Structure 1
Amino acid sequence: MRNEKGFTLIEMLIVLMVITILILITIPNVTKHNSMINNKGCSAFIKMVQSQVKAYEMEHGTIPTVQQLVDGKYIESNRCPNGKEIVITNEGDVLEGE
């Protein structure tokens, strides 16, 4: 018999098992961090919209609706990165809706 170099089937199965275990450990951590990043992005987006509400109010003299901000190109979207809509109260405060 010749001395052939290469991996045996058992060695390949062990390597695949180790890779699978590492992937199973990694995926839940990535999804947990993704939702945390989206929530922090939403709070930053709300602060940015709050400043745009103040800019609109200084230019037009009234507190805008979310649609007025979108139409006036003050903001591009009425949704946070986590998918929730934003709401502007009668006092001009910006809140995360549903």
Structure 2
Amino acid sequence: MKRYYFKLKNKNLKAFTLLEMLLVLLVISVLLILIIPNIAKQSEHVQATGCEAQQKMVNSQIEAYSLKNNRKPDSIDELVTQGYLKEAQKKCKSGESITIKNGEASIS
């Protein structure tokens, strides 16, 4: 490709051609088109994994509650009132609720 030189106070300055700039923009656009769908898929996977981890954490708090009180809690609200969980920990970030059934945490 032909380079254009501009003379400014006895200095030669190199410049990019319009075609070179358009090629760079094309490459960047193609990369973005390929990357964005993968990021969206990873976000869904992170949300699901986070909810499973929160369920395991609630199960460990159920065990701590049962060791102290010699019985399993009847509801998740019992864990909140006793200070084992915070109110915000009753739901996953995806909006699913965590409930207690038969002494185990489950996602509903």
Fold shared by both chains (TM-score > 0.5):
yes
CA gap 1:84/1:9 in 2 versus in 1, 3 angstroms:
same
Structure 1: which amino acid aligns with 2:34? Answer: I
Deviations 1:46-77 (A, max 9, x none): 11111111211222344322122223331231
Distance 1:83 1:16 in 2: 39
TM-score by length of 1: 0.82
User: In terms of Rg, which structure is larger?
Assistant: 2
Gaps of 5+ in 1: none
- For the 8 Å contact 2:47–2:93, the answer to whether it is kept is yes
Q: Which runs of 4+ in 1 moved over 4 A?
A: none
Deviation at 1:8, TM superposition (A): 1.8
Gaps of 5+ in 2: 7-13
52-61 or 15-24: bigger deviation: 52-61
CA gap 1:7/1:72 in 2 versus in 1, 3 angstroms:
farther
Deviations 1:9-52 (A, max 9, x none): 22212211211110111111111111112211211211111111
Distance 2:30 2:80 in 1: 46
Which of 49, 67, 75 is residue 77 of structure 2 equivalent to? Answer: 67
TM-score by length of 2: 0.75
* Residues matched between the structures, number: 95
Matched, 1:78 2:87: no
